[in-house]
Amino acid sequence: MTDPNLVYVYAILRRTPGAVAAATGLRGVAGDPIHLVEPTDPASPLAFAVGHVLAADYGEAPLKAHLDDLDWMESTVRSHHAVVAALVARGDAVLPLRLATVYPDEHHARQALDTRRAYFLSLLDRLTGHVELGVKIYAAPDITPPEPDTDAGQAAPTGLGVGRAYLAIRRRRQRRNEEAWRTVAQAAAHLTRTAGTLAVDRVAHTPQRGSLAGPAPGTNVGNDAYLVPADRVDAFRTGVLAAAEGIPGLRVEVTGPWAPYSFALQPDPVMGP
């Protein structure tokens, strides 16, 4: 009989008494208790923090269907992040995995820990003592149309009709708009370089549009994640915000610190029998 449950993996961590204590009492996206799955190799220091979920919800086909259910997705994301955040709060290095990383059973999860041991350890070593900070850059150039009487006192060129005059005004406004956007783009590039000097690594995410951008005014032109030493968080935030000061039409948000999701790659689940 096919097992109706899948193993849902939240994170990879080193197998220590502290890790066991951190997982104790946690519950995951389906309310199932979190526990550690250890590799078959007793010499390996790794473990998965896992829970169980129904294949009817987290199998490949139903999961794709759930992607259109915003309420379901929000609940899953919040529960997933709560588990990872609780593990991170204990202070040990944690390699957070992406949403809905599942294996058919614990046997396949153990195999993954064995076969990818060196890879997972290298990532854990790299992330130890680091957190993720987000930097969102918004461009909102202050472009004001000419006053109604700006051109009223000037003689119109001979033969310039109302339609042509309107187009001429639109072209002037467009040139001012393009100049303002070039200024903001150059400032955003400089800000990105500055942030890069304060961090260990950077991942450039796609700028957000529409409802994803939230209520913040302006256009999101930069949406990056930075890997920052935990003891340099305040210095990073101060440096980035200082670099954005006094630049018209540019606004910056620094978010976090978070678990370093953007710098943790997802293992390849083995879905075979």
- The per-residue pLDDT for range 93-134, each reduced to its tens digit, is 788 988 888 999 999 999 999 998 999 999 888 888 899 999
- Confidence band (pLDDT; 50, 70, 90) for 1? very low
**266/54: higher pLDDT:** 54
Query: Residue 47 pLDDT more than 60?
Result: yes
Predicted local distance difference test score (pLDDT) of residue 128: 87
Query: Residue 157 pLDDT more than 60?
Result: no
Question: Measured between alpha carbons, how far is 178 from 249 in angstroms, rounded to an integer?
Answer: 13
Q: How many residues does the chain have?
A: 273
Query: Residue 145 pLDDT more than 60?
Result: no
Query: Residue 138 pLDDT more than 70?
Result: yes
**183/270: higher pLDDT:** 183
Predicted local distance difference test score (pLDDT) of residue 198: 94
- Confidence band (pLDDT; 50, 70, 90) for 159? low
Q: Which of 88, 134, 136 is nearest to 226 (CA)?
A: 134
**103/158: higher pLDDT:** 103
Residue 151: CB atoms within 10 Å = 14
Q: What percent of the chain has pLDDT over 90?
A: 32
Predicted local distance difference test score (pLDDT) of residue 2: 40
- Confidence band (pLDDT; 50, 70, 90) for 174? low
Taking only the tens place, the pLDDT of each residue in 220-265 is 888 999 999 999 999 999 999 998 888 777 889 999 998 898 988 6
- Confidence band (pLDDT; 50, 70, 90) for 214? low
pTM, two decimal places: 0.74
Taking only the tens place, the pLDDT of each residue in 183-204 is 778 888 888 999 999 999 999 9
Question: Measured between alpha carbons, how far is 46 from 75 in angstroms, rounded to an integer?
Answer: 28
